[in-house]
Amino acid sequence: MAPRKKKETKQTGKPNINAYISGAGLTVEQPITETLETNYMPYAMSVIVSRAIPEIDGFKPSHRKLLYTMYNMGLLTGSTIKSANIVGRTMQLNPHGDAAIYETMVRLSEGYQALLHPFVASKGSFGKAYSRDMAYAASRYTEAKLAPIAAELFADIDKDTVDFVDNYDATMKEPTLFPVTFPSVLVNANTGIAVGMASSICPFNLREVCETTIAYIKDNDINVADTLLAPDFPIGGQLLYNRDEMEKIYETGRGSFKVRGVYTYDKSQNCIDITEIPPTTTSEAIIEKVIELVRLKKITEINDIRDETDLGGLKITIDLKRGADPEKLMKKVIKMTPLEDSFSCNFNILIAGSPRVMGVKEIISEWVAFREECVRRRVYFSLTKAKEKLHRLKGLEKILLDIDKAIKIVRETDEEAQVVPNLMIGFGIDQIQAEYVAEIKLRHLNREYILKRTADIENLIKEIADMEAILNSRNRLLKIIIKELEAVSEKYGMDRKTQIIGASVEDDGEDELPVDNSPVTLFFTKDGYFKKITPLSLRMSGEQKLKEGDEITQTVESTNAAELLFFTSKWQVYKVRTADFADSKASVLGDYIPSKLDFEEAENAIYMTETHDYSGYMIFVFDNGRISKVPLSSYQTKTNRKKLIKAYCEKFTLHTVLFIKEDTELLLKSSNGRMLIVNTAQIPSKSTKDNGGISVMTQKKGQRISEAVLYTKGDLEGDHRYRTRNLPAAGSKPPVGTAEQARLEI
């Protein structure tokens, strides 16, 4: 492989083309870090800043380019026009193609029903957010215009309230942000996946958002949860409310909550109609899951299920068998299908070009600061215009003293270019005032016209004084913002669509669900992937598919009725039922546990335990030779809690986690070459999960446990020499010439 050729650079800083040409065709070494910095990082930053993450006005660049184009086309008023026309015009600002632009318009439209307050009024088939198969029509068949609420996005945009930049080919100007009069970033849902980060902002009720923002402006120490009750989704549904969890989301910008569908029972037809579903699923997904459960005989009360969605809205109808209990059935459906689903929040927003995950109060604070600057710039713009007008009118006022003199100067001036200078000399006015006077039509050179114009001087002086007072008083600016928020809330506010119900309802009827005790084989990998495979599928499958560099660390024969405990790198344990996972195959990667169980950021799954009765012990081996023994029953809870903190001791660095049904022997190996066999019966068990255990294998400075495994008698020659009655112990080194000594030397 040829050595890397350093490319010479001229003093101008531009690369020397000859250096590249001379190295053409050669394979050169390049550190991966340099490739990432020079090639991948610019792309990643472009996706984060220019595509996927919304800004404080609540929009991504693609949204902003489309809406601003429609605003320039005069679509705030008048009738709708063909969507294809709008898409074509938007390409002057957005070079990403007509398909991407039209998809953006679809999501912003009333017909699609993805937003609480859509910004695009639509005509034609725009699909539905709650349907996977209900596709939108082509842009040549649909029509659109801006919805009335879009006027709040462009209020005073022509008064220098926001910055404008060149478009991609520098032929037009476009705004960097919209001067929105309300926190639209919290009102309409916004999701995006960038490189290495994502954003997921749930929608809130417009009235509640405006009320909360006004309350924050008046008192920064408010509790947001008092006025901002809970998220509100366009499709409705029932939100399972937990005050503590909601306040955590409001404070940190991260977390999740559950949303449940809404149904009614028609006794005359013996059927159930589902009319509202969670925002994270589709009607097709729910129907397919119910059909699968019926096929597997986990649900036996259903005769038929069909999609009856029409112009009236979403409707999934379930025909029941005679004698079936609708309430018990729906508890099963809610538990086992996406009719109840979690919405994960990640309030990641671009602030001054940098992504930040913020709580609701911090988002409102940033929006108020942004809106305050918009209002300040608007007032300053109006102040400048008023001062310019006052200056011109004062010049006109001087003409009032002698109109005949002005006419005489103009008439007796030989050259046109001398008219303005002669007026300046004759009346003692400057060039701007003289230009204004010179442009007055002859018909207006009368006392009545001039008196009407100069009568505005006194009003202008008062307006200028008032605007200067506003600029010098933050309270005046904030009062303007509050007044605008109240007007928006009054004009566009709507009642909540999503019902708020107590989270305690969530656990009702869980014990009544049937338990499927069929056998399964569980696979858990080093990188945190999990598979549940039935015996039939396992017999017919080939090699297990794994991510590159991954390997299977645990294979457990179990049943669908077992409970699983996933211990994590952040001293926590997540509990879930085996039945909660869908049957998998060897040909797929499986479920990624940190994503499936909604782990915290940078939290990884390190060990899986399967149990039916919570018997046995968890063994935690630490690098310093200490071992903690915790009864598995310590992790059993009366309520169906999904996560337990302080699952093991965080004071010491963890080396190995093991589950044992009963006391057995462990083989410990140290980095100094010593080995120790210890019976777990010698280690006292403590019900306190995060106890530090006892010192078992002593380690000198710089030494650590290198391996800890279950020991089977006979695995080592002369294993008696590695056993000891007293703990802690240093262990023994293998005798010279033994197979174990040879392995250590290797």
pLDDT score of 20: 59
pLDDT score of 232: 95
Q: Are 609 and 617 in contact (CB under 8 A)?
A: no
Q: 4: which 2 tokens?
A: 């890397």
pLDDT tier, 18 (very low <50, low <70, confident <90, very high otherwise): low
pLDDT score of 490: 95
pLDDT score of 3: 45
Q: How far apart are CA 322 and CA 325, in angstroms?
A: 9
pLDDT score of 176: 94
What's the farthest any 2 CA atoms get from each other in the chain? Answer: 127
DSSP letters for 578-594? GGGSPP--TTS--EEHH
pLDDT score of 370: 96
Span 327-338, mean pLDDT?
92
Q: Write the pLDDT tens digit of every residue in 346-366.
A: 999 999 889 999 999 999 999
Q: Write the pLDDT tens digit of every residue in 666-686.
A: 999 998 889 999 999 999 999
Label the pairing between strands 254-260 and 238-241: antiparallel
Q: Write the pLDDT tens digit of every residue in 203-227.
A: 999 999 999 999 999 999 999 999 9
Q: Write the pLDDT tens digit of every residue in 528-555.
A: 999 999 888 888 888 888 988 899 999 9
pLDDT score of 572: 93
Smallest Cα–Cα separation from 243: which of 225, 222, 228, 221?
A: 225
Instruction: Tell which wins on pLDDT, 591 or 50.
Output: 591
pLDDT tier, 5 (very low <50, low <70, confident <90, very high otherwise): very low
Smallest Cα–Cα separation from 7: which of 37, 28, 35, 36?
A: 28
- Count, residues in the chain: 746
Q: 344: which 2 tokens?
A: 């994960």
3-class secondary structure per residue, 422-487: HHHHHHCCCHHHHHHHHCCCHHHCCHHHHHHHHCHHHHHHHHHHHHHHHHCCHHHHHHHHHHHHHH
Q: Write the pLDDT tens digit of every residue in 484-533.
A: 999 999 999 999 999 999 875 444 444 445 556 788 999 999 999 999 99
CA distances from 673 to 426, 621, 656, 664, 677 (A): 106, 17, 18, 23, 14
pLDDT score of 339: 95
Share of the chain above pLDDT 70, in %: 93
pLDDT score of 740: 62
Q: How far apart are CA 112 and CA 129, in angstroms?
A: 6
Q: How far apart are CA 246 and CA 201, in angstroms?
A: 14
The mean predicted confidence, pLDDT, of the chain is: 88
Q: Are 165 and 173 in contact (CB under 8 A)?
A: yes
Span 11-22, mean pLDDT?
58
pLDDT tier, 140 (very low <50, low <70, confident <90, very high otherwise): very high
pLDDT score of 540: 84
Peptide bond before residue 728 is cis, with ω within 30 degrees of 0? yes
Assess whether 130 carries a catalytic annotation: no
Query: How is the chain split into domains, by residue range?
Result: 1-30, 59-179, 262-338, 372-490, 516-745
Q: Write the pLDDT tens digit of every residue in 55-84.
A: 999 999 999 999 999 999 999 999 999 999
What CATH fold (topology level) applies to the domain 516-745? Neuraminidase (2.120.10)
> Does domain 59-179 correspond to CATH entry 3.90.199.10?
yes
> Does domain 372-490 correspond to CATH entry 1.10.268.10?
yes
pLDDT score of 8: 43
Q: How far apart are CA 534 and CA 531, in angstroms?
A: 10
DSSP letters for 620-675? EEETTSEEEEEEGGGG--SS--SEES--S-SSS-EEEEEEESS--EEEEEETTS-E
pLDDT score of 742: 52
Residue 582: is its pLDDT beyond 80?
yes
pLDDT score of 185: 95
Q: Which residues are CB-contacts of 312 (< 8 A; sequence separation ≥ 6)?
A: none
User: Which CATH code, of 3.30.2290.10, 3.30.1360.40, 3.40.50.720, 3.90.180.10, is assigned to 262-338?
Assistant: 3.30.1360.40
Q: Write the pLDDT tens digit of every residue in 118-137.
A: 999 999 999 999 999 999 99
Among residues 141, 436, 449, 574, the one annotated as catalytic is 141
Span 274-283, mean pLDDT?
94
Span 42-59, mean pLDDT?
85
**Within 13 Å of residue 203, how many CA atoms lie on the same side as its CB?**
25
Instruction: Tell which wins on pLDDT, 112 or 32.
Output: 112
Compute φ and ψ for 254, nearest 5 degrees. Answer: -130, 155
pLDDT score of 6: 43
Smallest Cα–Cα separation from 676: which of 718, 622, 730, 630?
A: 730
DSSP code for 2: B
Burial (CB count within 10 angstroms: exposed 0-12, middle 13-18, buried 19+), residue 268: exposed
pLDDT score of 509: 42
pLDDT score of 256: 93
Quote the Cα angle for 140-142-148, to 5°.
135
- Helices (runs of H) and strands (runs of E) counted in the chain: 22, 32
Q: Write the pLDDT tens digit of every residue in 374-411.
A: 999 999 999 999 999 999 888 888 887 788 888 888 88
Q: Are 735 and 676 in contact (CB under 8 A)?
A: no
Q: Identify the weakest region by mean pLDDT among 471-475, 556-560, 562-566, 716-720.
A: 716-720
Span 184-191, mean pLDDT?
93
Span 645-653, mean pLDDT?
91
Q: Are 340 and 274 in contact (CB under 8 A)?
A: no
Q: Write the pLDDT tens digit of every residue in 244-266.
A: 899 999 999 999 999 999 999 99
pLDDT score of 145: 97
Read off the pTM. Answer: 0.66
The DSSP bridge partners found for residue 695 are 626
